[in-house]
A and B are shown apart, each in its own frame.
Chain A
Amino acid sequence: MKRKKSFIIAFILPCLLSLLIMYLYPVIRTVLMSFFGIESVTASVSDWTFNGVDNYIKIFGSPTFQRAMTNMLLIWLVGGIIVLCFALLFAVILTSGIRFKKFFRAAIYLPNIISAVALATMWIQYIYNQDYGLLNQLLEAVGLEGKNWLGTDMKFWAMLFAFCFGAVGYYMLIFISGIERIPADLYEAATIDGANKIQQFGSITMPLLRSIFKTNITFWSVNCITFFLWSKMFAPVSTEASTIVPVVYLYDTVFGTTGNVQRDAGAGAAIGVVLAVFVGLIYFIMNKLIKDDDLEF
């Protein structure tokens, strides 16, 4: 019995240690940090000064943070509608008995495999380029004038669209797995009863995909809350108001920006906590809102 105990401990210990070092300790310390005035992230605990919820008041009062939150919400809402609509459309097309399904599926999912930095670089340096970019060449081919897609007014939408293009494939795969779980005899019965494809989609596919929608919306929301890479790639040197998101704001607050050496690790921690609470809320709301399947098929 004792030998079995030591066997279990030996097997679980490395995993447990990594949980404690990488997750438990940092999360507790970040939560604590958010209630203290801390300038440098490397400051020792003795240099911390307790200031209650001042950090939270400071970030919620900051126009930059408000702008970042607005951008995040826009990405969530507009991007979410675009991505989920395209993902569902492709999922329905690919499960409709089309040929070369496997190839199409793999090709649409491809952008998820490529390094997002490489993907963003391709968009910025090629598609959106003002001189030789694909978009302007297409516009000129139909007689329209090219635009500076990376100017302040268009940059946000350019970033959002490029991000959505890469994201569609993942959500499509989840929709496909949901659609393929729906038994074929439901559609056969509907066809015999005289329902057309569109009616079948509205009355069979959509209701039975409820829990898949839940999964996809949850993943999309979490993805938006932790949105960072694309914003950083579209404004690599100095952060711009048009593309700022909360995680970029956190990064700048904690590590400083070029030309601004003022840092505030306490406020950074507060942003982290706010974002983590958002993630928690998303899981909670999605579980309450859409009950996990009472459906059986």
Chain B
Amino acid sequence: MSKKEKVVYKEKINWKKEAALLPGYLIVLIWIAFTAAFLIWILAASLSTSREIFSGAVFKFESGFHFENYANAWNSSNVSVFFMNSLLYSVVSCVAVILISAPAAYVLSRYIFLGNKPIKTSLILAMSIPEVMIIMPIYALTAQYHIRGRILLMVLYIFIRVPFTTTYLLNFFASLSRSYEEAAAIDGCTPGKTFWQIMLPLIQPAIVTVTIFNFLSVWNEFFMALIFATSTEMTPVGVGLLQIVNGMKYTGDYGGLFAAVIIVFLPTFLLYIFLSEKIIAGVTGGGVKG
């Protein structure tokens, strides 16, 4: 096998074939060059002064690198608060949703009981219901019981990810052999213990994939945050960035704005650099938008 791979590796570039593909290379390269130029300019602008940005001289760095833009954005534009909130929402909801969804997915895939089918159907229906159908009653409910602050968005983000996560994990549990449970039962293991100690670790890869999607989705969430984040203390990055943009009229700190953009996009970007293969496989494998 390894020998064969070596042969393939040493194969000469077939120039005729590559030439036929040239138009394809060009189209893709132009598109990617545009994306790259775009991101590099933003990065350069985040290290420049507002004056340099307006005079179109962001790549010259005549007055040096202005790292203080990042410090300004982080401290005086409240980016630190928004960032920490988003981190809190993402981490808490990712963990909690697994604790809710994994057991449910397990019993739904393993046991036949009254309501099994309707619950599965409802989960799929819930995924396709537009958020505009649910926010108004939730808003009324939270106002009535005076639920506010970070806990509110945290709970909403957990609930909103349950249908997708449960449906995603269901298929993985269904593909596991029943012999694991049979062996565990013979050894006197209770169903609960079997689940937590044997079955859950077996679907670890699926849990990792679904958690990545949940993290990206919560980190980038905007609509619910706009409605429910009524104070700066509970605002996540998306809505926070919108507030910074709206405040630009008064501050005029463009360097700080672009620094804030970089800070907001960096966590998901880094995640993508390391996990792009897994993310792409998840998108096409599931056929479901994360």
Contacts and interface: CB of A to CB of B under 8 A. Distances in A.
B220 A115 contact: yes
Main secondary structure of the interface of B (DSSP, over half): helix
A60 interface: no
Contacts of B53: 132
Interface centre among B21, B104, B122 (most CB of A within 10 A): B104
Given A110-B35, A131-B54, A232-B226, A265 B162 contact: no
Nearest to B125: A23
A18 B162 contact: yes
Contact of B56 (A11, A25, A96, A137): A137
Given A115-B264, A122-B261, A279 B128 contact: yes
Interface residues of A, number: 91
Contact of A233 (B32, B104, B128, B242): B242
A173 B226 CA distance: 30
Residue of A118, A265, A275 with highest tally of chain B CB at under 10 A: A118
Nearest to A125: B257
A182 interface: no
Contacts of B137: 25-26, 29-30, 33
A237 B243 CA distance: 10
A173 B283 contact: yes
- Specify which of A5, A97, A125 lies most central, judged by the most chain B CB atoms within 10 Å of its CB: A125
Given A22-B138, A125-B254, A113 B32 contact: no
B202 interface: no
B104 A11 contact: yes
A19 B136 contact: no
B265 to A, nearest CB: 4
B65 interface: no
Q: Determine the interface band of chain B, counting residues with CB < 8 A from chain A.
A: 35 or more
Interface string B270-285: 0110001101100111
Contact of A11 (B28, B106, B138, B271): B106
A290 B158 CA distance: 35
A117 B130 contact: no
A16 B100 CA distance: 10
A230 to B, nearest CB: 10
A8 interface: yes
Contacts of A228: 222-223
Interface string B120-136: 00110110111111111
B21 A96 contact: yes
B226 A15 contact: no
Nearest to B254: A125
Interface stretch (A61-69, A150-158, A202-210, A247-255): A247-255
A122 B38 contact: yes
Contacts of B192: 7, 10-11
A283 interface: yes
B132 A247 contact: yes
A222 interface: yes
Interface stretch (B3-11, B70-78, B139-147): B139-147
Interface stretch (A51-59, A71-79, A186-194, A266-274): A266-274
A15 B162 contact: yes
A70 interface: no
A174 interface: yes
Nearest to B245: A121
Interface string A27-47: 101100100000001111000
A225 B130 contact: yes
B246 interface: yes
A275 B132 contact: yes
Nearest to B13: A99
A4 B122 CA distance: 24
Please provide the 9 A-B residue pairs with the shortest distance between their CB atoms, ordered closest to farther: A15-B104, A177-B284, A26-B134, A22-B159, A93-B24, A11-B103, A26-B137, A29-B137, A106-B276
Given A7-B191, A42-B140, A272-B136, 20 more contacts: A11-B103, A22-B138, A23-B129, A24-B122, A26-B137, A27-B133, A30-B133, A41-B139, A107-B36, A108-B31, A113-B216, A117-B241, A121-B241, A173-B284, A176-B284, A219-B289, A254-B136, A265-B136, A275-B132, A275-B133
Interface of A: 4-5, 7-8, 10-12, 14-16, 18-19, 21-27, 29-30, 33, 41-44, 89-90, 93-94, 96-99, 102, 104-111, 113-119, 121-122, 124-127, 131-132, 134, 137, 170, 173-174, 176-177, 215, 219, 222, 225-226, 228-229, 232-233, 236-237, 247, 250-251, 254-255, 265, 268-269, 271-273, 275-276, 279, 283
11 contacts: A12-B103, A22-B138, A98-B25, A115-B238, A118-B264, A121-B257, A132-B53, A134-B38, A269-B136, A275-B133, A279-B130
